[in-house]
Amino acid sequence: MDNIIKKELDQELTIVSNEQIADKVFKMRLKGDTSLLTAPGQFINIKLTGFYLRRPISVSDYDSEGLTIIYKVVGNGTDLLSTMKSGEKLMCLMGLGNGFDTAACGDHVLLVGGGVGTPPMYGLAKELLKQGKRVSVVLGFNSKTDVFYDNEFKALEREIPGSSVEVRVSTVDGSYGTKGFVTDCLTGLDDVTDYCACGPMPMLKALYRYYDQKITGQLSFEERMGCGFGACVGCSISTNSGFKKVCKDGPVFSSEDVIL
């Protein structure tokens, strides 16, 4: 697979920190060139020694010095990633995917993150708040031990002068926040102009059906990817304009285009 990679996309990044922030969830800060990142919601594809396929991980936040990713240990690859230390190097395909279109967002944007779909919502929230938009955030997890970044979202209101952000959290077992799913946290948010979401397919479907195109949104899909840059068809989904690849044509799609 590496022999068809565009070499200019492959960047060496240095691990600055790698810490656990929730049950099996880790936050890693990487230092290096981020010039290929152009929009919140893009992802990187990480090469790990001993594994043929790279691991696609969404970018939570980035600046001119480096980027932050948040990932969950779900297999041998991410387990290896969780053991890596400060100073170690990673080869990463950069600037992958289209990201969220902030110019298409209205004045009051609802951001919905489910589990490890939460990280890209953070960078998106920062960008929207800097643009003077009002942001409401709804995060969904299974249990209290899975919850992360709710306080970081709340802190954005202090970090960005004049900004307004509301944060709501749901857990399936009711051990933290509202008992239930993200759709159980939407009461009272009747004035949102549109929504952006990232999370598992059942959550995206529930949100899509909840609004039933009364307001439109941007949905980021979490499909398994073989290559991460469009060379294979392993992450194809059905849309109103035919089959599209999540890694190249997405991962963000308009709710008006997807078939759920």
Q: Express each pLDDT in 10-23 by its tens digit.
A: 999 999 999 999 99
Query: Between residues 213 and 145, which one has the greater pLDDT?
Result: 145
Render pLDDT for 136-185 as a digit per residue (tens, 0 to 9): 999 999 999 999 999 999 999 999 999 989 999 999 999 999 999 999 99
**What's residue 3's pLDDT?**
46
Give the CA distances from residue 254 to residues 129, 194, 220, 248, 260, in Å, rounded to whole numbers and listed in that order: 21, 11, 9, 15, 12
Within the chain, strands assigned E span 10-22, 25-31, 43-47, 55-62, 66-72, 89-96, 108-114, 134-141, 165-171, 178-179, 194-198, 217-220, 236-239, 242-245, 252-254
Please state the separation of Cα 93 from the chain's center in Å. Answer: 16
**What's residue 235's pLDDT?**
74
Cα separation, 34 vs 14, in Å, equals 12
**What sign does the CA torsion over 44, 49, 54, 58 have?**
negative
Q: What CATH number labels 102-221?
A: 3.40.50.80
- Listed in order, the ranges of the chain carrying CATH 2.40.30.10 are 2-96
Render pLDDT for 76-109 as a digit per residue (tens, 0 to 9): 999 999 999 999 999 999 999 999 999 999 999 9
- Listed in order, the ranges of the chain carrying CATH 3.40.50.80 are 102-221
**What's residue 252's pLDDT?**
94
**What's residue 239's pLDDT?**
82
Cα separation, 150 vs 214, in Å, equals 28
Longest CA–CA separation in the chain, Å: 52
pLDDT band at 214 (very low <50, low <70, confident <90, very high): very high
pLDDT band at 120 (very low <50, low <70, confident <90, very high): very high
Q: What mean pLDDT do residues 201-227 have?
A: 88
Render pLDDT for 67-83 as a digit per residue (tens, 0 to 9): 999 999 999 999 999 99
The superfamily (CATH) of domain 2-96 is: Translation factors (2.40.30.10)
